[in-house]
């Protein structure tokens, strides 16, 4: 006999909060693939890492949207942040149903590409 929710007397379970990830590789300025979040996400982290070596200069923006049309900047990562440094939203939250990275400018040498890794969490 199957138990209904009322009939469960004890026990516990854990539910992981919704999250989504994405990695984009760039060699020129471009917009990455837009991710549809599994649920509204509000906090984000990104890491920008040069392939083979750090890039000389870059400007990566993480953008979020509620309608997949109008995007707003959530985070900006540049060479000042540093190669491979985790950058996160810490005090302000930007609820988003869609997110993407966008490389607005880059000077690669000595890197051969940069990889932008994104994590979004509810």
For the entire predicted model, the pTM comes to 0.85
Task: Return the CATH number of the domain spanning residue range 13-121.
Answer: 2.60.120
Q: Report which of 17, 16, 18, 13 is spatially closest to residue 5, judged by C-alpha positions.
A: 13
Q: Tens digit of pLDDT for each residue in 86-104?
A: 999 977 788 999 999 999 9
Q: Tens digit of pLDDT for each residue in 26-48?
A: 999 999 999 999 999 999 999 99
Q: Tens digit of pLDDT for each residue in 42-82?
A: 999 999 999 999 999 999 999 999 999 999 999 999 999 99
């Amino acid at each position: 006999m199957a138990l209904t929710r009322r009939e469960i007397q004890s026990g516990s379970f854990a539910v992981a909060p919704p999250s989504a990830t994405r990695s984009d590789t760039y060699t020129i300025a471009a917009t990455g693939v837009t991710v549809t979040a599994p649920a509204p996400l509000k906090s984000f982290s990104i890491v920008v890492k040069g392939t083979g070596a750090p890039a000389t200069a870059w400007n990566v923006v993480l953008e979020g949207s509620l309608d997949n049309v109008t995007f707003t900047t959530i985070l900006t990562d540049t060479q000042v942040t540093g190669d491979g440094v985790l950058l996160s939203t810490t005090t302000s939250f930007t609820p988003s149903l869609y997110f993407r990275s966008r490389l607005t400018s880059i000077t690669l040498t000595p890197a051969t590409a940069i990889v932008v890794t994104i994590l979004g969490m509810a």
